[in-house]
Structure 1
């Protein structure tokens, strides 16, 4: 028989939130200790740049692209490395959850959004040459192209539009710019507040249990 948790059911949601908040802040702390620039050894696989207009559209197809790529069987090492980079870079960019990370070039998360979306685009284009994935990949490309034309995004650029990337270099958020970006600052401040609130609530619940 499995041993039941020593915590009451009412405490579990709070503890889950505490763990999630701690994980996010830990990722932020680890990333801030490194250089946020994509400049590095470039010993990995180069990834072509993506324009601001392209990323606005590719962001909406990212999940379809990654799901299709993850199920592909006729792959090679470069493809898998770019796919892995796209997923790692996505987590470094807080899973695309920061407000304005894609649309606002002033966002401290815009450059890292360029990186994971450029990788997603590279993966998508590579799948056009794969026998089993070519049809689905071509359909996504056709939909994305049509949406870009409809929204008039093909010529829109930003300060990161000409930046190429490399699987050897993780692009981290520009942490020093967060205080100047109101939306990002508000989200991270709320996250810190949630972390402290959940911590003290969990501490109170555990204290009550120990006194019983």
Structure 2
């Protein structure tokens, strides 16, 4: 399927121009939102990422509608490559299942890995400095034992790429808001145990 994604930064801006182009490019479904690129909670983009499958195409009219920064772009392209999703920017396609696409994917993946290693080095250095100054991080607080178990189960299911609705049902969580809260708790807990950086939306370990 072809999925479009449109975004404007403020409520005063209009999505019509982007929607018109995306419809012209043959999108089967369009996800759109009015939200600043600086805001890490892009609900509609997250919904799109939950349903895409190998062979699907994501279409945007400009790359800055998709990514907030170079780092954000690198991680998104790395994910598209791993999931064999085609990215189309206006009429230009990056098909990660072709030899040329795999070349781009390799380059993107190498840069993403380099970025992860830099982040990991900075995290280790920061934790070392904190210990030397007597500041040792502890486990995140705020959930009871039952909720903690659900948080752990929810994250394990998300790693297995289950849909949000399936996770809600399987983990016995009542709402998406609660689910995301549990996921952030579990990600923070694991980041401390595994000494890993957290994604900007707080939902993944890097």
Fold-level similarity (TM above 0.5): no
Q: Which has the higher helix share?
A: 1
Q: TM-score range by the shorter chain?
A: under 0.3
**TM-score scaled by structure 2?**
0.25
Q: Which has the higher contact order (CA 8 A, sep 6+)?
A: 1
Structure of higher CA gyration radius: 1
